[in-house]
Structure formats: structure tokens, C-alpha cells
Amino acid sequence: MKGPSGKITPISVIVHSVFSRIESEKNLSKEAIEFLWRTVCGEAAFKHSRPVALKKGIFAVSVDSSGWMQELSLRKRGLLKALKRELGKDRIAEIHFKIGEF
């Protein structure tokens, strides 16, 4: 995406600006949460997982297999750090993964 000066805008700047605008809202839309998750976890992991809810500081994610649950569990610390950076430390405390359909 190109900004007003014609230069390519880094995705981190775009994500930050999107979530800065909606940060004041009490609840994020499903689309906003999915966009954030896709950006944080990457395209390959997004094909196998979907955010289900963000309630009371818990970011719940549905995963399609035990293999992907293990992969995301190993990446949990980094994923949580990235989510906190985008949403604010006070909005998210934990990520819970569960196997299920989406």
C-alpha cells in the first residue's frame, strides 16, 4: 500500500494505524480480530486457525489440528507479545488454543 508520498507503507504501520483508530471501541469486530491474528501469526498458521473471541483479556483461538495447536503453542510467547503490542497490554493477558472447527 502506498502512502500520500507514493512510498510503500510497511504493514506494521498500517496495522498500528487501523488498531489505533478502533482501540477506543469497547469490542473489536470479528473482521478486525481476524485481520490482527492473520498479521501476527502469518498466512500459513492463519489457514489452520481462527480467533474465536477476545473476552476478559483472553484471546481464544480455534485450531484445526493437534499439530497446528502444538506449533502455535510453541510460538505462544511471541504471539502474545505481538498481540499486546497491537492491542495494548491491558486488553490481553493470555492466549488459549483449542481444537475445533471454524
d(CA 78, CA 62): 18
- Burial of 49 per CB tally in 10 Å (0-12, 13-18, 19+): buried
Task: Give me the domains of the chain, ranges plus CATH numbers.
Answer: 11-99 (3.30.300.180)
Question: CA-CA distances (angstroms) from residue 25 to 1, 21, 22?
Answer: 25, 8, 5
d(CA 49, CA 33): 12
Question: Per-residue pLDDT tens for 11-46?
Answer: 777 777 666 655 544 567 888 899 999 999 999 999
- Residue with grid cell 495447536, as numbered in its chain: 69
CB 51 within 8 A of CB 59: yes
Question: Per-residue pLDDT tens for 80-102?
Answer: 999 999 888 888 999 999 999 87
> pTM score, two decimals?
0.72
